[in-house]
Structure 1
């Protein structure tokens, strides 16, 4: 298994069509209520395209082949036609994948990744980050949920399909992806340099904290996550765990059966875990067959805006059916289910189609709304500060977003510039000089590339220290209070 410390330097950009794994079931995976493909992907009650419609597609392909001024690859035309169908749905989570992309997609479900570490989807023609994978190079570099990716290494994503954009982001292990990002609240694009790598991701990390409080981080719901989770939970319980914090921050989702199995361990027998609603209006309700009552210890779930779909199913189930408390930020808001078909094509390609929506046990559809935490806790502003552009030295009297980022970093590191509005004044210069002195750098008061690098490196270390994680500390505090409250009632 790869340890968390190693994983921080590794991982991927996702490699699926819409890239989000959430609530997916392939032909080889069991999926309650999904059904099996019938007669070339059509259910018996549905009407397929007419012969005239099929002839129209065939005629268009023949016209292109006969009249286009260069030779045409028929396979590319077919793939393009299918991709066009998926684009016509205007659904960022339905997509077509060719053989190579489908192979990488299957590897991701199984927990094997390559790239920079960001789950993405296509929304209104933009490549949008659903979530940076927790501990990944993308998260470490400062990529955030809802960021719009504009280009990589100078290659624009404008006019590209999601698969085409992802292919440009991916690259050989050890190479650098310079990703340009549009972020809400920032007037100018931001640029991030991210090292690509590959790894078999460990999706469950657990430890026991002081006072008998267990902590389990779930980074994704892959095929083997439920088994790993059960093992770690049993280990903590055998050690006399008095309370539990579950962390699904920046968890983009995964396989539906996996999260259902995990929720069974907390939701009492007979209570709902999730409802899946099809276009006919029929609802498939997943009822827990788990324990007869809730756990004998308090459970808190940590969420943020990168907690998507399967993470949201777990949040909804534990909140509404198991009495768990949610702490952190509002979740992403993805309330649809995808079915993935690979066998009908027979050539390794794959079609992923949104085939239902899911609702919480109380019947709430959280799509584009997310789930609000019971206790809202934001991280310190330096957790999400944008990197500094190192092509230009920042000096006294400058006034821009890079100076603003530097001031946020300095403040987070304990140096007090006295302002955070982006104006490089005397107080900012004094703070820079003090930082340079402590780091054995030339003391100029200017922020050159070496100073900016040192600031960012020190900030990454501070962010990685659990003591500075405001959301995690609030979760531990909540569990301690509930443990104390339970003891006082005895």
Structure 2
């Protein structure tokens, strides 16, 4: 063995690790100065220095074990049948260490991926517009972004992505899979998904587009002489809290009688953003959030708010509400006894921080657990609504896959059940919803085809199926039959 080469590699590897620890501490110290008045989440300088010392001590204790990594590096370099790039091996070692943690939210991002990550947080990006996570080893949709190609194509929370343009994503880390899904505006990608509760795999064609990150949408409704403000938050980015506060102030100046905060399909985002929003509503006598550090120490965080708002507030959630959205919902629920309407949320109860590796690459690592005001950890369980409300059945209809022959009279198939749900949702009553194509279903199909200038056959081929899905998605995106929002307003006005 070339002792000199091994020694150099060992020094390089240790330098990478020490560099990461040093950068992390410096980043934390900077965070302490910049965030003390806002989030209160940074540790004290003294604690950070002690933590850095502890990590360096651990590093020194494990120097002997690290030589095993260097041995593997050298064995591969000197014995593998083909030439191997040094950087490939080092990045593979980092990926392997992180994957061994079994935490889908702790990931390595190379320089290019990190640039895309920053772009997504700060402005806009090009792609299909869906937040994804690694769940039990599967690339899984957390939520499609509002008005994105993913939403228009019918992707839903908990859809598992299996292939992208025919190539399997099995074995890829999250950001490798994301890089396959993303692409230039106007380009098309075919995604094969497994949807829980659906027997057949679904193949969905999506045209990529620019995904603007507008995060605050406002609506007003007059109900029984009361002004109800509805603010939808699609994610928590840098400007979300500021824009949200401004819109609340406008509504209050108009004499708002109740507020709905809609975080359905909101996959989360920046923790300080949701903290600033909570400080507008949670009074100082109860914590709006608790944070548990790696040692198990819990810290509680409070606002300076003296008195509660003089109007009721309802939070709207669903299975696509994750992370910061769940913080908002459970904090208002537990700290202020405000109602939560909808269905149980996604269930992400951890906080990540980015640690620079010094070369433009970054590790996004889970550092804390966040707990509700009462100290509950909702991870993998989600936030339960105080008032449960589903959406109409047609909201859950799946894309129809016409493989060979059209679906026709006297056939039974799970796809026909989805066709019937769509027809009913579009006010073409098929008479039944059990997947059997009877005379009533045929007449409903013929009426739909006639109204949409399709060939009137009474059968559902791919063309009819696509128009059905398009019309239904238009109705859903326009907010028709939004039973959850209706229930939230009903709760406010009681």
Q: Normalising by the residue count of structure 2, what TM-score does the alignment of the two structures yield?
A: 0.87
CA 1:125–1:333 in structure 2 vs 1: closer, same or farther (change >3 Å)?
same
- Kept in 1, the 8 Å contact 2:400–2:419? The answer is yes
Q: Which residue of 2 aligns with 1:214?
A: 229
Aligned to 1:351: 363
2:52 counterpart SS class? coil
SS of 2:218's partner is strand
Aligned to 1:161: 173
Please list, as runs of the form range in 1=range in 2, the aligned pairs for 1:356-371 lying within 5 A after superposition: 356-371=368-383
* Partner deviation per Cα, 1:213-258 (whole Å, 9 max, x = no partner): 1110001111111111111111111121111110000111111111
Q: Which residue of 1 aligns with 2:335?
A: 321
The reply to whether residue 180 of structure 1 matches residue 192 of structure 2 is yes
Residue 41 of structure 2 is matched in structure 1 by 33
- CA deviations on 1:176-231 (whole Å, 9 max, x unpaired) are 22111111111111122222122331011112222311110001111111111111
The answer as to 2:261 corresponding to 1:246 is: yes
- For 1:453, the equivalent position in structure 2 comes to 466
User: 1:42 and 1:105, CA in 2 relative to 1: closer, same or farther beyond 3 A?
Assistant: farther
Please give the secondary structure, in 1, of the residue aligned with 2:88: helix
**Change beyond 3 A, Cα 1:467–1:446:** closer
Asked which structure has the greater RCO (Cα within 8 Å, sep 6+), the reply is 1
Partner of residue 269, structure 1: 284
Indicate the SS of the match to 1:221: coil
8 Å Cα contact 1:305-1:332 kept in structure 2: yes
Picking from 298, 304, 319, the partner of 1:283 is 298
Paired residue secondary structure (1:59): helix
Partner in structure 2 of residue 119 of structure 1: 131
Task: For residue 307 of structure 2, give the secondary structure of its aligned residue in structure 1.
Answer: coil
Q: Does 1:470 align with 2:483?
A: yes
Query: Which structure has the highest helix share of the two?
Result: 2
Deviation of residue 277 (structure 1)? Answer: 0.6
Q: Contact conserved, 1:204 with 1:229, CA < 8 A, in 2?
A: yes
Distance 2:237 2:438 in 1: 50
Aligned pair count?
A: 453
The structural deviation recorded for 1:45 is: 2.5
Where do 1:79-478 residues align within 5 Å?
79-210=91-222, 211-290=226-305, 292-342=306-356, 345-392=357-404, 393-478=406-491
Partner of 1:4: none
Contact residue 432 and residue 445 of structure 1 kept, 8 A: yes
SS of the residue aligned with 1:407?
helix
Q: Say whether the 8 Å CA contact 1:204–1:216 is kept in structure 2.
A: yes
Question: Cα offset for 1:298?
Answer: 0.9
Please give the secondary structure, in 2, of the residue aligned with 1:119.
strand
Check 1:175–1:219 CA distance in 2 against 1; reply closer, same or farther (3 A cut).
same
After alignment, is 273-282 or 128-137 more displaced? 128-137
In structure 2, C-alpha distance between the alignment counterparts of 1:122 and 1:40, rounded to whole Å:
33
* 1:332-382, Cα deviation, whole Å (9 max, x unpaired): 11111111112xx22111111111111100111111111111111101111
Shift of 1:398: 2.9
The residue that corresponds to 1:487 in the other structure is none
Instruction: Tell me the distance in 1 between the aligned counterparts of 2:281 and 2:125.
Output: 30
Unaligned runs of 5+ in 2: 1-26
Cα deviation code 1:416-460 (max 9, x no counterpart)? 222222222222111111111222222110112221122112211
SS in 1 for 2:316: strand
Bigger radius of gyration, 1 or 2?
2
Task: Judge conservation of contact 2:420–2:441 (CA < 8 Å) in 1.
Answer: yes
Q: Distance in 2 between matches of 1:145 and 1:127?
A: 11
The range that moved more, 222-231 or 381-390, is 381-390
- Give the Å deviation of 1:414: 1.1
Conserved in 1, the CA contact under 8 Å of 2:216 and 2:234?
A: yes
Q: Distance in 2 between matches of 1:398 and 1:67?
A: 61
- Aligned partners of 1:65, 1:295: CA distance in 2, in Å? 66
* Residues 68-108 of structure 1: CA deviation (Å, up to 9, x unaligned): 22222211211111111110000011111100111111222
What 5-or-longer segments of structure 1 have no aligned partner?
Answer: 1-25, 482-490
Residues 1:108 and 1:32: Cα distance change in structure 2 (over 3 Å):
farther
Match of 1:14 in 2: none
The reply to whether residue 45 of structure 1 matches residue 54 of structure 2 is: yes
Verify the 8 A CA contact 1:32 1:257 in the aligned structure 2. Answer: no
- 1:53 Cα deviation (Å)? 1.9
Instruction: Describe the shift of the 1:369–1:98 C-alpha distance in structure 2 as closer, same or farther (beyond 3 A).
Output: same
Distance between the aligned counterparts of 2:403 and 2:443, measured in 1? Answer: 22
* Deviation of 1:328 (Å): 0.6
TM-score (norm 1): 0.88
- Distance, in Å, in 1 between the alignment partners of 2:354 and 2:340 is 31
Q: In structure 2, how many angstroms separate the alpha carbons of the residues matched to 1:72 and 1:39?
A: 39
| Stretch of structure 1 that moved more, 122-131 or 256-265 | 122-131
